Amino acid sequence: MICCLDVDYNNAAQGQCAAVLFHHWADTEPAAIRHAVTGDIAPYRPGAFYKRELPCMLNTLQKIEENIDTLVIDGYVWLGENRGGLGVHLYEALGRKIPVIGVAKSVFRGTETVAVSVLRGKSKNPLWITAIGVDVQDAGRWVEQMAGAYRLPDMIKRADAECRDWPD
């Protein structure tokens, strides 16, 4: 199973992570969706973004019973040559067992040697793909195959929408 993860924050120092699970890269509908709210999250700190998002993602992943083959995150796995981002920290926290693919909407200085650009739909602006545990060229092809007529694949957009849908 493939799992897209995204996190949103509220003013109460809480983060809500949504996990959108699907079977195949071209699937148009999720097989399952999971949510988890995590309290007492770290404030945003440049260069340490993973400290804010990682606990939320790990909390959500603990609630998933399905076997996950690949994780897809909104952001970078690598921030440059030998400089790990959120995706590297997630991969390490999971015992290096589940490949992580990062899908970023804007280029980050220093990622030119570790990212592949992918054009989707009619967009002239690429997505920037980084990966760990799987070849980045394969990861780029898989993101190209994902359902959706626009730049950002539908399952990634769904994870973004789901994490913003806070319980009352």
| pLDDT at residue 82 in the model | 85
Amino acid type, 115: A
Give the total residue count for the chain: 168
- 111-143 residue pLDDT tens: 777 899 999 999 999 999 999 999 999 999 999
Determine contact, residues 101/129, Cβ cutoff 8 Å: yes
pTM: 0.95
In this predicted structure, the answer to whether residue 47 has a pLDDT above a threshold of 70 is no
43 three-state secondary structure: coil
- 68-82 residue pLDDT tens: 999 999 999 998 888
Q: Residue 96, class by beta-carbon neighbours within 10 Å (0-12 exposed, 13-18 middle, 19+ buried)?
A: exposed
Distance CA 22, CA 29 (A): 7
Amino acid type, 79: L
Domain ranges of the chain: 2-163
Q: In the CATH hierarchy, which fold is given to the domain comprising 2-163?
A: archaeoglobus fulgidus dsm 4304 fold (3.30.2170)
* Sign of the C-alpha dihedral computed for residues 165, 153, 95 and 84 taken in this order: negative
* For the chain, the helix, strand and coil percentages under 3-state DSSP, each to the nearest 5: 25, 30, 50
